[in-house]
Amino acid sequence: MKRTALGAALLCAVLIGSGCTKVSTGVGTGAQQRTKGVIPHVLRYAEIAEPDNLSLLLSTQIVTIDLAYFMYSFLFNVDDHDNFVPEIATEVPTLENGGISKDGKTIIYHIRKGVKWQDGVPLTAKDVVFTFQQIMNPANNVQVRTGYDQIKDVVAPDDATVVVHMKNVFAPIIAYFMGLQGGYSILPAHLLQGNHDLNHAAWNNHPIGSGPFKFVEWKHGDHITLAANPLYWRGRPKLDKIVFRVVGDSNTIVTQLQTHEIDAWFRADPGKLAQLKGLKEYQLTLTPENVFGHVDFNTKDPVLSDVNVRRAIISATDRERIAHDATHDAFQFSDTDQSVFSWANDHRPPYFPYDPAKAAALLDQAGWKIGPDGIRTKNGKRLELQLSYIGGQQIAQALGALMQQELKAVGIALTQKPYPATIFFASAQNGGIINSGKYQLAYFGWVAGIDPDNSSLYRCNQFPPIGQNDLFWCDRALDAAEVDALLHIERERRIADYRIISRELGEQAPTMFMFSERRIDIYPKEFQGFRPSPAESANWNSYEWSME
């Protein structure tokens, strides 16, 4: 799972596997005239965040996984109906096809023949084994090993077969192992083997992959250029070139769409929705996605370690109003981290709905009393907190401003602190704001994944740098339910576990869930083949994209 700069969304009433139709809110000019500035067979798109590096082994950013889908390969992709699509593996292992043993502890993958790295060397089962070894190498600055840490060994009896032996049953292993939810693409053993660690490998910034597009150049702070890979196993992609531009402000991205310096903005800032709707030369689509937006509480902080303070902040925050005002109803209020597509979503009412009187009572109970200037104090200390987020986003700024108003009304002073994405999401080893716990409140988005497993976010043994529990919060009832949910395949048992997890998250309030997301994408009518997936990235089928 990766962090995204935006929080998010819209509740979609369809279930996993049935798909979710994207909604078009712009129809272009309706004329046959060519869109100004479009270059045939070239896509130029922009994003606020720049990746910290181009290796999924080390990065914690969603922008990296978007780029990874162009350059690298997974065992499976996830399509626009949230279904697995075989990529390097020829089929999805199941009990029925013999790919999973009856005890659930042996998984067999058949590796596609004829796949080549972009330097012409064949990709084989040995590359998969090597990648697993690097994920588990303690010298590598890997942030999450969820699922992989339940594997006993991975072997390649031949170039076309990978056998995974599990220590224990791990229910979502298919979604994790060299898959989107596991977060790691296959690495080239012939280029990277022999290193003690890969933390500073030149490959991280100048990679050779096996995906449909080849890395060409990275001008830091400006752009990354990719070119069509003629050796791609499906055949040469339709686009000749993709240019990813780093533009640090959403206003500037809108301007560059207006001046046709760029063609597209994927996963656009919902704060700009009204302006984007006014760009008549473009197609605008909104698609439900497995992403939730939230405000995390650093429970190591002496103020936020008090559960009643956390409950009060949630009670004082009108999350439905924020969804309306900050996202123009592109996103909707949601009080869960579970995807709208997920069978684990209990669709319960919020534990702490908007109730300023309740918030005030909770703060009184916690010993925080209103001072002469309206701000609460306790033992001579003012109740002042800071909200951190990614700079350059209108949605984050709007959310922060609304929260400031609402918290001030109950006696809490809130300031805002924006950061560049590379600093905000950096690893604990590199002093990242989130992973190092250098924050009090932090707003960002999170990709929920296909399987409902959220253990890397909340388990007691997942504090960074060995996990992603940046709440630094431990709840034993939740922890036991997380373990049970991973050890059993039976859905009904897992549903019962996720009900416990949902209850503990709601009652103990270590995080404030804000939105469920639908992604906003804007592009010219000449851009064809774009079919966003509800999963982590819409780029699963970029080999089919075209700009005619």
Query: Which CATH number goes with the domain that contains 96?
Result: 3.90.76.10
Task: Report if residue 535 sits inside a domain.
Answer: no
Domain shared by 198 and 303, yes or no? no
Contact, 56 vs 68, CB < 8 A? yes
Domain shared by 328 and 190, yes or no? no
User: What gap in Å lies between CA 306 and CA 292, rounded to an integer?
Assistant: 25
Domain shared by 201 and 320, yes or no? no
| CATH number of 315's domain | 3.10.105.10
Taking each helix axis from N to C end, the angle separating 394-408 and 319-327, rounded to the nearest 10 degrees, works out to 150
Phi, psi at 443, each rounded to 5°: -105, 130
- Residue 366's contacts (CB-CB under 8 Å, 6 or more residues apart) are 306, 308, 309, 312, 378
* Domain, as residue range, for 156: 87-210
How open is the CA angle 321-390-142, to the nearest 5 degrees?
A: 120
Domain shared by 206 and 306, yes or no? no
Task: Report if residue 270 sits inside a domain.
Answer: no
Residue that terminates a domain, selected from 210, 232, 251: 210
- Helix ranges (H only) for 259-331 are 273-277, 307-316, 319-327
Instruction: State the burial class of residue 510 (Cβ atoms within 10 Å of its Cβ: 0-12, 13-18, 19+).
Output: buried
How open is the CA angle 503-506-509, to the nearest 5 degrees?
A: 135
Domain count, the chain: 2
- In 67-146 the beta strands, taken as DSSP E runs, fall at 76-78, 84-86, 106-110
Domain shared by 163 and 302, yes or no? no
Domain shared by 302 and 203, yes or no? no
Task: Report if residue 180 sits inside a domain.
Answer: yes
Tens-of-pLDDT digits for all 548 residues of the chain?
A: 444 544 332 223 222 233 333 455 444 444 457 888 999 999 999 999 899 999 999 987 889 999 999 999 999 999 998 889 999 999 999 999 999 999 999 999 999 999 999 999 999 999 999 999 999 999 999 988 989 999 999 999 999 999 999 999 999 999 999 988 888 999 999 999 999 999 999 999 999 999 999 999 999 999 999 999 999 999 999 999 999 999 989 999 999 999 999 999 999 999 899 999 999 899 999 988 888 999 999 999 999 999 999 999 999 999 999 999 999 889 989 999 998 888 999 999 999 999 999 999 999 999 999 999 999 999 999 999 999 999 988 899 999 999 999 999 999 999 999 999 889 999 898 899 999 999 999 999 988 878 999 999 999 999 999 889 999 999 999 999 999 999 998 999 999 999 999 999 999 999 999 999 889 999 999 999 999 988 878 899 999 999 98
How open is the CA angle 409-414-418, to the nearest 5 degrees?
A: 145
C-alpha gyration radius of the chain? 23
Task: Report if residue 312 sits inside a domain.
Answer: yes
Two tokens at 120? 């012409």
Task: Report if residue 546 sits inside a domain.
Answer: no
Contacts of 366-373 spanning 24+ positions with Cβ under 8 A: 366/306, 366/308, 366/309, 366/312, 368/309, 368/411, 370/411, 371/411
Residue that terminates a domain, selected from 193, 210, 227: 210
Domain shared by 444 and 322, yes or no? yes
Contact, 62 vs 3, CB < 8 A? yes
Domain shared by 408 and 304, yes or no? yes
The model carries a pTM of 0.80
User: What gap in Å lies between CA 137 and CA 158, rounded to an integer?
Assistant: 23
